[in-house]
Structure 1
Amino acid sequence: MNIKLAELEHRKGEPLPFQVTLDADELKKRHHEIRGITPVTASGEAVQLGNLYYVKGSMKADVNFVCARCLNPFVDQATVDFSETFALSDDPILQDDEDSDILPLEGDEIELDSLLQEDFLLAMPTFPLCEEDCKGLCPTCGVNRNEVACSCKNERVDPRLAGLADFFKDSK
């Protein structure tokens, strides 16, 4: 979906509402942790204030992941807010501040699809967890520690510090 700058100028500061559905297959291909996804619905508004163009809103979708710790599949109801500011590429505000978050506009339209896809993908977790306090799998017996408590001793001693363990045994 594209938003025409001329349409925003005619509205004279009045927000232009929009609604768009992003291609779920494209998003799934671009993020290796996404196992499945419902169509992403984005709704928001665009407005021109002075020389700047603002686009803000929210995206929603159900995303299927596999937990990085326990390997159980789960569904996350993702809600991603977005807010972007644009200026024409020849606007002096872009030359004055090279580190600004203002995006340059080429042409007479704001192209939303690729921008929203990028915002959505950046909000997705790199290591998805079914629960924030997921205990994961036991490295010794492989049991899911969220479901069953195992009695394995999983103490790891750094071989560089193993000599210190012997030192403290003698002091007891």
Structure 2
Amino acid sequence: MLFDLTEVLSGENKVIQREIPLELNAITYQQEEFPIVAKTPVSLTVTHVGKKEVLIEAEAKVTVRIPCDRCLADVGKVFHLNISRGFDLQVEGETRRRELDECSFLDGFQLDVDLMIFNEIILNWPMKVLCREDCRGICRKCGKNLNEGACDCDMTELDPRMAKILDIFNNSR
């Protein structure tokens, strides 16, 4: 959703607070699409701090369904987002992007709230997602989720890459 910043620029030290519905329904990251299963409206506060400088503050809570890295079970990862950024709107287009390292969610006097929230989620994306701390993953042979119980697969088989090392130990005895 686009938010027009010209209203806040009409008066010095003017503050505008809005609850803006988040229209984002999925996060596309690393060629995967992760659905958003719960979201709160974005609590947006825009403050005109001087000349054409604004302070943008936003809060939102977004839950994204991400598969566990070990067992592939769906995990609802909650992102508590608190954003606070200042912008000088006198600086134009490409120069603004280069100098302020913006990610294109501010175009002229239009703030793309969905893109701002998307960027914050990507910045806070976890390195590893686990359904629980002691997740046992899936069986290498049959693919059973080991969190649901043990499988009947024979796990005494050695890794073929380690067979030569085992031969060295057996020959040294």
TM range (shorter): 0.5 to 0.7
* TM-score (ref. length: structure 1): 0.67
Q: Does 1:38 align with 2:38?
A: yes
Alignment of 1:96-107 (within 5 A): 98=98, 100-101=100-101, 106-107=107-108
For residue 129 of structure 1, give the secondary structure of its aligned residue in structure 2.
coil
For residue 38 of structure 1, give the secondary structure of its aligned residue in structure 2.
strand
TM superposition outliers: structure 1 runs of 4+ over 6 Å: none
**2:79 aligned partner:** 78
> Conserved in 1, the CA contact under 8 Å of 2:47 and 2:56?
yes
Q: Aligned pair count?
A: 164
Alignment of 1:13-162 (within 5 A): 15-25=15-25, 27=26, 30=28, 32-35=32-35, 37-50=37-50, 52-88=53-89, 90=91, 98=98, 100-101=100-101, 106-125=107-126, 128-150=129-151, 152-153=155-156, 155-158=158-161, 162=163
CA offsets, 1:109-165, max 9 Å, x none? 43323322333355445864322442210112323222324562375353xx64333
For residue 164 of structure 1, give the secondary structure of its aligned residue in structure 2.
helix
Q: For residue 49 of structure 1, what is the amino acid of its counterpart?
A: V
Q: CA deviation at 1:2?
A: 0.9
Q: CA deviation at 1:166?
A: 1.7
For residue 37 of structure 1, give the secondary structure of its aligned residue in structure 2.
strand
Shifted more, 162-171 versus 148-157: the winner is 148-157
Identical positions, percent = 23
Q: In the aligned structure 2, how far is the partner of 1:155 from the partner of 1:54?
A: 60
Q: In the aligned structure 2, how far is the partner of 1:34 from the partner of 1:147?
A: 24
For residue 130 of structure 2, give the secondary structure of its aligned residue in structure 1.
coil
CA offsets, 1:63-106, max 9 Å, x none? 33333421323333332333333222537xx58x9464357855
- Structure 2 segments unaligned to the other structure (5+ residues): none
- Kindly tell me: are residues 154 and 41 of structure 1, through their superposed partners in 2, closer, same or farther at Cα, counting changes over 3 Å? farther
For residue 169 of structure 1, give the secondary structure of its aligned residue in structure 2.
helix
- Structure 1 segments unaligned to the other structure (5+ residues): none
Q: Cα RMSD (Å) of the superposition?
A: 3.6
For residue 34 of structure 1, give the secondary structure of its aligned residue in structure 2.
strand
Q: In the aligned structure 2, how far is the partner of 1:74 from the partner of 1:117?
A: 19
- Kindly tell me: are residues 108 and 74 of structure 1, through their superposed partners in 2, closer, same or farther at Cα, counting changes over 3 Å? closer
* TM-score (ref. length: structure 2): 0.67
> Conserved in 1, the CA contact under 8 Å of 2:44 and 2:58?
yes
